[in-house]
Chains A and B, each alone.
Chain A
């Protein structure tokens, strides 16, 4: 029997060939990398992380200024990313669930509008939506007394002002000082535009996941619940959703991870997230390899963390069969 017909030898030959090709390719790329980096005087090193950054970040939860080292700047960027991802997860889950439920409403108009929303949002690039929210909606907001004012909330071109506890734990709403709004809690319009865009976009996808989950519950469940006298909302909340969750949660996992990755588009609306800080750092230090490695590792860990939490949740909502 020739060797290319031998069921024992052949797999090993194929695998060895593939491994050899991949190894040669990696060796070629790594060899070039080391040669080029040596020539440019940029051999892999992490010392630059401790040098002063020399740039400022407009809005941070983690205090940061230009005299602090690069790693502090990257950490502040990471915290900013986590902030918008966390807020986005909560917002898009709420809106998406509402939209998903609305697509089963008895009201035909509401069903049609939900459908239209999903079709419009899913067929327009997210980046285009983000710049639209930022340049067209948020940057054309009025300032001063003309700002949009609700109890405890003021939305102006200079930011979103919220009531919160001021000095001495006194509840303090937004107030005007010389035509400029002041409040204990201020969110920038950049954050606002990014969050709105991400929530509006992800909600359309989450709505589809929720709709699929609800559709997967047998029709008899609806009929049985309504013959027991439960209202539409009671049926949904107490009978259908608990069963739909086991279909919904794995789909949500995918959507949450893409929301976390999509948050890197913050750079388009001027919000300083991890990617944006990394870009500035690269421009200043020229440390391409280290910065790219840090970026990839950070997003990989974030994705893995979301997956871990969602897998835990998935185990909780699975129906335990007898």
Chain B
């Protein structure tokens, strides 16, 4: 029998009960998807998304300053292209012996998406052209880095990762202004820009804080241990929305008059301090997985305690903790939607203002569905990236290819 048919029979029609269940599920699935497709292509009015695409992307960011964000996107695309190309020119085999990053299928898919998506979304022609140019830049730099990257002097190659924090600083400068650029106050940042900014700020800063808290919780010094435990359990016991509420309403009282930061930054700090407690728990489980003998061996080789932790214990612990840490980052990205409840204009807050516009009243389904797809893609991409990184850091794979 045809293997596909055999597989189908085994999966769907193994027993009479299974067959009945399969037929019922198929019927439900078919009717559900036809109803959805009918709605999406004939009843839904997607004009609400097209007309407000800039608002969703940037909020009320001043139009005459938007070139700065295009420049930033170009820099990010360039960094992604170079990073991808460099990784690709130093492939490693994973546990099953496959190369990673292996093939050009992802590149082809990206090219196809970047060509088709701006067109399918019905963006204006100049914007379409810019997206095509950006993806062209990404793929070109990826090719260049793959072609000439391995020939670069090793000293230069070691300096390359330092470009990332530099890029973040340049990005903040481009977004907020300063050094000759016209300042754009945080109250005018919005949409996807604000969502990504809040998430990336909190992810970057909660990481060192979380590692310190996790080390504190496993410390032999009772004061450090109890301090970390109290902080972690207090934060984990409260809903994020009450902490954001605390940040908005009490921070003004806790700091000397006029020193309280802007509302956007208050929320960013609350998110960071919140995420640090959860990250600490993820790192702690990673630390628990490293045998005690590792510290003892490192110490007996003459490493100091900080050296032993930073070069022997933490690299192993963080690799074990990677999946749950990325899980925390994903939920942090999702938690940025709560900022809309305290009046910030991130994606969901922007969506609310769009739907309050009389011209787009009642277009809830279209808007929420678009946001859901956007969030789903971002979160799924983070998950995929984490799994790829896990494979690359797998010690068994390194041994095999080395």
Contacts and interface: CB of A to CB of B under 8 A. Distances in A.
A125 B245 contact: no
Interface residues of B, number: 53
Contacts of B25: 107, 109-110, 113
Interface string B1-16: 0000000001110110
Interface stretch (B57-65, B130-138, B252-260): B252-260
A295 B245 contact: yes
Contact of B250 (A113, A125, A261, A288): A288
Given A107-B21, A125-B337, A295-B245, A15 B221 contact: yes
Contacts of A110: 21-22, 25
Interface residues of A, number: 51
B224 interface: yes
Contact of A18 (B223, B237, B255): B223
A136 B376 contact: no
Given A15-B223, A18-B223, A299-B238, A36 B257 contact: yes
B11 A292 contact: no
A129 B371 CA distance: 10
Interface stretch (A65-73, A151-159, A264-272): A264-272
Contacts, number: 142
B22 A109 contact: yes
**Residue of A107, A120, A122, A265 contacting most chain B CB atoms (<10 Å):** A107
B253 A127 contact: no
Given A18-B224, A113-B25, A292-B249, 5 more contacts: A11-B220, A123-B379, A128-B372, A132-B364, A299-B242
Interface of B: 10-12, 14-15, 18, 21-22, 25-26, 29, 220-224, 227, 234, 237-242, 245-246, 249-250, 252-257, 330, 334-335, 337-338, 340-341, 348, 364-365, 368-369, 371-372, 375-376, 379-380, 383
27 contacts: A11-B220, A15-B223, A18-B224, A19-B223, A29-B255, A32-B254, A32-B256, A106-B14, A107-B25, A108-B10, A108-B11, A122-B379, A123-B376, A128-B337, A128-B348, A128-B375, A132-B364, A135-B368, A136-B364, A136-B368, A261-B239, A261-B240, A264-B239, A264-B242, A275-B241, A295-B238, A299-B242
Interface of A: 11, 14-15, 18-19, 22, 29, 32-33, 36-37, 40, 106-110, 113, 119-120, 122-129, 131-132, 135-136, 261-262, 264-265, 267-268, 275, 278-279, 282, 288-289, 292, 295-296, 299-300, 303-304
